Amino acid sequence: MGLVKFLAVGRLVRNPKDGLFSKDKHQVVASIAAEKENPQNKTYSTHLTQIMNNGAEKLKPNRRVRLTSDGNQYDLHVLADLVDNNPSDMIVFFAVTDVDFGKAHSVSSLLEEFKMNFYTTNDAEAIRQAKTGGQVHKNSQDFLQILINKFGEDRLAQVNQVTQEITHQMTQNVNDLLVSVDNMDGIDSTAQAVEIQAANLHHNAHSVRNSERCQYYKKTWFIALIVVVIIVIIVSAVAAK
């Protein structure tokens, strides 16, 4: 899926006497879950706590570490940093993601934006004194939610969806064009048929006119012949008297 599931900031605590990290004293000073009711959130928190308690000495500032959970269920990206470059004040940025998060997003971009926004929202002194569920946690909720929204979207899936929609639309357009071509062919065929019918009609009309003309001439000659015969008869009768 390529999504971010959980974001948190841990503050590592040192023993003031010897300067060593104090196990079980570390604090998760800000956190947010993509799904508030997800039972896995407790597992994520436990994993973060274990890293701070058992691996604080191994964390190096500005060095990113990627850990994969048992069963390859999720990845945990870890980035340690010094508050005001003070070696005594180390915090850790945690990002829990799907194992294929890197296919959809840049892990580096996520952690860099996470770090930048955290320092912009909270001053150094507040971070040094921060506790679980305290003011730093409350101050960080807005930008944490923005990160969850931004990196919680599966861009690869969105691109695939958009591609599919465009492909579908293009296919539909081609189909519509082919239908239009078929319709044009039909129109051409109809026009040709009308042309043929018109030509036939013109030919028939011409034939009818010729036939009627012949009939007219025949009648005229017949009438003229009758008139001539009558005149001959009359003339003959008058001459005989």
**Residue 9: partners with Cβ closer than 8 Å, 6 or more residues away:** 28, 29, 30, 31, 91, 92, 93, 94, 118, 136, 140
Instruction: Render pLDDT for 70-118 as a digit per residue (tens, 0 to 9).
Output: 889 999 999 999 999 999 999 999 999 999 998 889 999 999 999 999 9
Segment 65-72 shows an average pLDDT of 91
Helix H segments across 59-154?
A: 101-104, 107-121, 124-129, 135-151
Shared domain check, 203 and 135: no
Say how many domains are in the chain: 2
Whether residue 182 is found in the same domain as residue 214? yes
Same domain (yes/no): 175, 95: no
Maximum C-alpha span of the chain = 176
Q: Which of 153, 188, 223 is the last residue of a domain?
A: 153
Whether residue 192 is found in the same domain as residue 144: no
Q: Are residues 10 and 84 in the same domain?
A: yes
Q: Please name which of 34, 231, 63, 241 lies closest in space to residue 149, comparing C-alpha atoms.
A: 34
Same domain, 46 and 114: yes
Do residue 56 and residue 148 come from a single domain?
A: yes
pTM: 0.64
Q: Which domain holds residue 162?
A: 154-241
Same domain, 168 and 131: no
Domain boundary among 153, 182, 212: 153
Both 37 and 102 in a single domain?
yes
Q: Can you give the pLDDT at residue 158?
A: 43
Domain match, 141 and 194 both: no
Task: Kindly state whether residues 176 and 136 are assigned to the same domain.
Answer: no
Task: Look at 42-46, 77-81, 162-166, 173-177 and tell me which has the smallest mean pLDDT.
Answer: 162-166
* Residues 136 and 160 grouped into a single domain: no
Whole-number Å distance between alpha carbons of 171 and 241:
105
State the CATH number of the domain containing residue 24.
3.30.450.50
